[in-house]
Amino acid sequence: MQFLNTSERTVYRYIDMLKDLGFKVERDSVNRMWIPSSGNIENMPFTPQEFDFLEKLIRTTGKANALSESVLNKIYQSSELQVSSNLMFKAHLGQIVEQISLAILDRKQLLIKSYSSANSQTVTDRIVEPMCFTDNYESVSAFEVSSQENKYFNIERMGSVEVLESPMVYELQHEFHQPDIFGFQGKSLNHEVEIHMSLRASLVLKEEYPMSIPFIKPIPQTDRYHFKAMVQNFKAPGRFVLGFSEDVEVVGSDEFVEYINELMMKKF
């Protein structure tokens, strides 16, 4: 484990992931592990040059997404190329996309296991009825059974998924609306948020909510940044402001200022 510069637990987690991805992991009498190869080069569907060409072709189609990574993963496996930890993660996402697609096509409910919510800061299992993917297959729009709400679920925050035998039963309540910057969907963007913030806060906002990037502008002749956008509700931006209270100044709207003041009173 010292050679890999990681813990034993992490190594075994990667081994389990390899098995989940369909790789056969063998072990000998002294506990050495390896992925067996057929050894027959003639059976390889792609030469290294062909694989390099296919990979470049897929990656030049646009922004990387879970679907393209799923295709690449199948090429990697069939070509028996070296697998990196990043590739395993991308392949894992590709399998999730494939299972969600099956649930949508077969109109089945889906169990999302160990979903890490950025909004509630929890890791829970969710039963949903998936409807469609967003651009670049980054999220799936789905109706959550427990809350009876239409929500967006980020693919990378899913531990795993399982297509259930139970059919969709809430299709009349399915609604698809373009999500706001913070991932909330609704019928209208009618709440305005305007803040000034430090460089540190702006970087976190961009990282946590990439769709906010076009709305973040530097304030001339200062070290501050300006953000102004319409959102579905104040929950997510409110949490962000509270988390960076020393780095963020709420400028508007009056409705958002009042919302933040109420949160501050509850907090203290």
Query: Is-contact 170 110, C-beta < 8 A?
Result: no
Mean predicted confidence (pLDDT) in 150-175: 91
DSSP codes, 14-34: HHHHHHHTT---EE-TT--EE
Query: Is-contact 139 155, C-beta < 8 A?
Result: yes
Query: Is-contact 232 186, C-beta < 8 A?
Result: yes
Q: Which contacts of 256-265 are long-range, i.e. CB under 8 A and separated by 24 or more positions? A: 256/191, 256/192, 256/193, 256/194, 259/234, 263/238
| pLDDT bracket for residue 82 (50, 70, 90) | very low
Which fold would CATH assign to domain 191-267?
Answer: Alpha-Beta Plaits (3.30.70)
Residue 198 has what pLDDT? 92
Indicate the pairing of strand 216-218 with strand 248-252. unpaired
| pLDDT bracket for residue 227 (50, 70, 90) | very high
Residue 75 has what pLDDT? 59
Q: In the chain, what are the domain boundaries?
A: 8-89, 95-173, 191-267
Residue 32 has what pLDDT? 77
When mean pLDDT is compared across 90-94, 136-140, 263-267, the lowest value belongs to 90-94
204: Cβ contacts below 8 Å, ≥ 6 apart: 240, 244
CATH architecture assignment, domain 95-173: Roll (2.30)
Mean predicted confidence (pLDDT) in 78-104: 68
When mean pLDDT is compared across 88-92, 102-106, 228-232, the lowest value belongs to 88-92
Share of the chain above pLDDT 70, in %: 68
Mean predicted confidence (pLDDT) in 152-157: 87
Q: Residue 85 — φ and ψ, nearest 5°?
A: -65, -35
Residue 36 has what pLDDT? 72
Neighbours of 108 (CB within 10 A): 17
Q: What is the layout of strands, in order, in the sheet containing 216-218?
A: 216-218, 225-231, 191-197, 248-252
| pLDDT bracket for residue 69 (50, 70, 90) | low
pLDDT, tens only, 31-49? 777 777 655 544 545 555 5
Q: Is pLDDT of 80 > 70?
A: no
Residue 37: helix, strand or coil by DSSP? Answer: coil
List, in sequence order, the alpha helices (H) in 139-226: 199-208
pLDDT, tens only, 54-64? 666 555 544 55
95-173 shares its CATH topology with 191-267: no
